[in-house]
Structure 1
Amino acid sequence: MCGRLDRLTLYDGMLENLVSALNPGDISRLMPHLDGIMDSALQQATEDLQAFAERDPASCGHTELILGTYASFKAVLLHRLAHQVWLRDSLQNRTLIAHRLANVGKLQSGVEIHPATRIGRRFVLDHGFGTVIGETCEIGDDCYLLSGVTLGASGIANNPGGKRHPKLGNGVEVGAGARILGAVNIGDNVFISPACVITRDVPANTRVSIVNQLQMQRATHTSSRGFLGAFALGERLHLVGELPETGAIRVLDAEHRSLSKLILECTVQERHHRQYRMRKLGLVVPAPLYPVHLRVDGPAHNVTLLDPPGLSSLVCSVLTPTCSA
């Protein structure tokens, strides 16, 4: 457990970093706000430290080891300070002071966290070198990030102002090298595998992996990890890979609602390949929201394939022959 000694060590370390990062003028401006900044940052960092000790097996629960040697934890600690400074509207030069603190964290850890980023309780940044977290990011409680993660905007230069970075729910885990780009929403208890590139919303309680440029979302209780992919070619939908013997294949709209008026009829059934013909039942009002996704449910599968190649165009041609997705 994180005891009194750890809190005292945390407080001393935060104060030392704050003083070393700032010039005398900044410290003088900070003094009327210091107690509030330190108290809030200390409470948050204490919970972060306890979460790190509990969730990182390499630390063996030794908080003094984390405090003394883990650069990624120092980045989080400095962000807690920088963010508290950022929130003080009445503090002169608050933006400059907050960025100076954040920059110290970046130089010491290789982690760049914008001081405006809102991070929830019990945050763990493990082996965080190369991680970048953008200005308008929101991260929920009990999240865990590994190294090289980018929570960034979808563009490169000339990104618009306003909300342009991801929002992560509670209990989200993000693997090394993953990139989540744009103002997308990641639901609670989502697991994002290493090296994924996420540009669309991910619903709660799913596991995301990338195979051959297809974004796959599995229910978290699913044990199967085999390949499963889909694509539309001409007037047929093809499903390939580790296929369920029984179950349902459904088309979902952009908000993951089932398009019940679309029927998939299997025309070719092989061990690792199935082909489907798509037809509609009656009128479809209103028109679905694009892009569309494919849901595969079975004893060993609960998978959503996001925007498989050609599927939106096929659905569009079936529902309204003159439309374009």
Structure 2
Amino acid sequence: MRYLDRLKLYDGLLDHLVHALKAEDMEHLMPYLDGIMDSAVVQVAEDLQAYAARDPASCGRTELILDTYASFKAVLFHRLAHQVWLRGGLVERELIAHRLANAGKLQSGVEIHPAARIGRRFVLDHGFGTVIGETCEIGDDCYLLSGVTLGAAGIADNPGGKRHPSLGNGVEVGAGARILGAVHIGDHAFISPACVITQDVPANTRVSIVNQLQMQRASAGASRGYLGAFVLGERLHLVGELPEAEEITVLDADHHLLGCLTLECTVRERHHRQYRLRNLGAVTPAPRYPLNLRIGDVLQDMTLLDPPGLSHLVRAVLKPHILSIGG
């Protein structure tokens, strides 16, 4: 922003600060005010420019966003609250930070804990109902829509420590998505609306939920539509819109290939395939569970996370050949 605009933004932020806090809060803030305001102005200016650049409805008008967009108020107040939270010597630091965060919540319908760490050029578009938890870490250039929850995996009595998600750079999260627990979402991942994410997502991955399965595919290429996997008896079944010829492999929890396994197709129909798992006989350490299923063809590469029964079946197949460490 130009110098005049930056000065106007400074005055606007200061006005929000004064109206949200009590007189005694402002007295506590005075020794730290210059540092808080200087940092917040730089961050808010970048957020504002990013919003204007990425939201076509605003037509690039920063003054429109700043004056009328409720979701931007949430980001503005979080920048102030987080700067207060970082001032270790400030009397009533947490109380003042929470007052600022609550002012943002009342004006926007968005709840962001003041301790949450949010990177540069953050865009929260139509953010009503979004919740960002205390130990969340969000990278640069992320974009969230309304009703997103970045929360803990449990409901009550969650343990302390890291319990909320970490988002890499350039992550986009669709409306109503819930990312729960201390999971990591890789750089430039795309989380489709209404997803429930409870496991790590690799970088450059597009995620959607189909029939309670978390399905991941490479960002490029056309969508195949429904695809599901499950174990019945001693066979793995694939159902849905299946490729004519596919490469199917089992991955561990870190998305590393289990090279000791091969999958033999025993039934091949248009919308149903059945596979027998065979152990190649190599002695191997136990893989890290839960296991995932990767299906690739010339058009796209998809990963089904923890299909029902897969981990149990693989344990049974590998059991005679797993290397016992220290036994």
TM-score band, normalised by shorter chain: over 0.9
Q: Distance in 2 between matches of 1:236 and 1:245?
A: 20
Higher deviation after alignment, 9-18 or 190-199:
9-18
Higher deviation after alignment, 260-269 or 223-232:
223-232
Q: Distance in 2 between matches of 1:65 and 1:225?
A: 40
Paired AA for residue 99 in structure 2: R
Equivalent residue number for residue 24 of structure 2: 25
Matches within 5 A, 1:1-150: 2-150=1-149
Alpha-carbon deviation of 1:44? 0.5
TM-score (norm 1): 0.97
Cα deviation per residue 1:270-302 (whole Å; 9 max; x = unaligned)? 111111111000133101111100001112221
Equivalent residue number for residue 174 of structure 2: 175
SS at match of 2:95: helix
Paired AA for residue 204 in structure 1: A
Alpha-carbon deviation of 1:322? 11
Q: Does 1:159 align with 2:170?
A: no
Q: Which runs of 4+ in 1 moved over 4 A?
A: none
Paired AA for residue 257 in structure 1: H
Q: Distance in 1 between matches of 2:209 and 2:244?
A: 23
Paired AA for residue 75 in structure 2: V
Q: Distance in 1 between matches of 2:296 and 2:184?
A: 23
SS at match of 2:201: coil
Alpha-carbon deviation of 1:9? 3.0
Equivalent residue number for residue 243 of structure 1: 242
Alpha-carbon deviation of 1:126? 0.2
Q: Distance in 2 between matches of 1:266 and 1:6?
A: 65
Equivalent residue number for residue 306 of structure 1: 305
Q: Distance in 2 between matches of 1:70 and 1:284?
A: 60
Q: Distance in 2 between matches of 1:292 and 1:222?
A: 25
Paired AA for residue 11 in structure 1: Y
Cα deviation per residue 1:243-276 (whole Å; 9 max; x = unaligned)? 1122310000111000011010111111111111
Q: What RMSD, in angstroms, separates the aligned Cα atoms of the two structures?
A: 1.3
SS at match of 2:208: strand
Q: Distance in 1 between matches of 2:122 and 2:262?
A: 45
Cα deviation per residue 1:56-75 (whole Å; 9 max; x = unaligned)? 11111111110110011011
Equivalent residue number for residue 206 of structure 1: 205
Alpha-carbon deviation of 1:201? 0.5
SS at match of 1:19: helix
Equivalent residue number for residue 227 of structure 1: 226
Preserved contact between residue 120 and residue 140 of structure 2 (Cα < 8 Å): yes
Paired AA for residue 186 in structure 1: I
Preserved contact between residue 244 and residue 299 of structure 1 (Cα < 8 Å): no
Q: Distance in 2 between matches of 1:284 and 1:11?
A: 65
Alpha-carbon deviation of 1:29? 0.9
Unaligned runs of 5+ in 1: none
Alpha-carbon deviation of 1:8? 2.8
Q: Distance in 2 between matches of 1:147 and 1:220?
A: 22
Q: Distance in 2 between matches of 1:6 and 1:265?
A: 65
Alpha-carbon deviation of 1:241? 1.1
Higher deviation after alignment, 312-321 or 297-306:
312-321
Paired AA for residue 237 in structure 2: H
SS at match of 1:209: strand
Q: Distance in 1 between matches of 2:308 and 2:259?
A: 21
SS at match of 2:316: helix
Distance change >3 Å, CA 321–CA 231, structure 1 → 2: farther
Alpha-carbon deviation of 1:225? 4.0
Preserved contact between residue 252 and residue 288 of structure 2 (Cα < 8 Å): yes
Q: Distance in 1 between matches of 2:300 and 2:240?
A: 12
Q: Distance in 1 between matches of 2:39 and 2:76?
A: 11
